[in-house]
Amino acid sequence: MTAILLIASALFCAGVFGLLTQKHAIGVMIAIEVMINAANLIFVGLGQHKGAAVGQSFALFTIAIAVAEVVVGLAIVLLLYRSRGDVQVDEAREMRQ
């Protein structure tokens, strides 16, 4: 049990590092995916450890919500690219055309 918690925290911290250093919008989304995966790992690991179906159910919900987030995020990134010509998150201040 300790092993999986340690592995998941290492994954989460890798995600935090990415989130703090990225300038490219898709780089930020990659970092967020890594962090969501760490959370999923703990959901499944703890659920199997305790023999409860709640862990896997929540992991399933998290996966679906993460996919929805990626879809909407990519649509926003494409819109940003179309209206500004680049997708650096530091420089994006408004979404009006």
Residue list 53-72, contact with another protein (CB under 8 A): 53-57, 59-61, 63-72
Asked if 91 interacts with another protein (CB under 8 A), we say no
In 3D, which of 30, 36, 43 has the Cα closest to residue 12? 36
CB 47 within 8 A of CB 70: no
What minimum distance in Å lies between the beta carbon of 96 and another protein?
Answer: 9
Residue 20 vs 94, nearer CB to another protein: 20
Token match 């994006």: residue? 92
Site for another protein in 1-60 (CB under 8 A): 1-7, 9-18, 20-27, 29-31, 33-34, 37, 40-41, 44-45, 47-57, 59-60
DSSP, collapsed to helix, strand or coil, labels residue 92 as coil
**Rg of the chain (C-alpha set):** 16
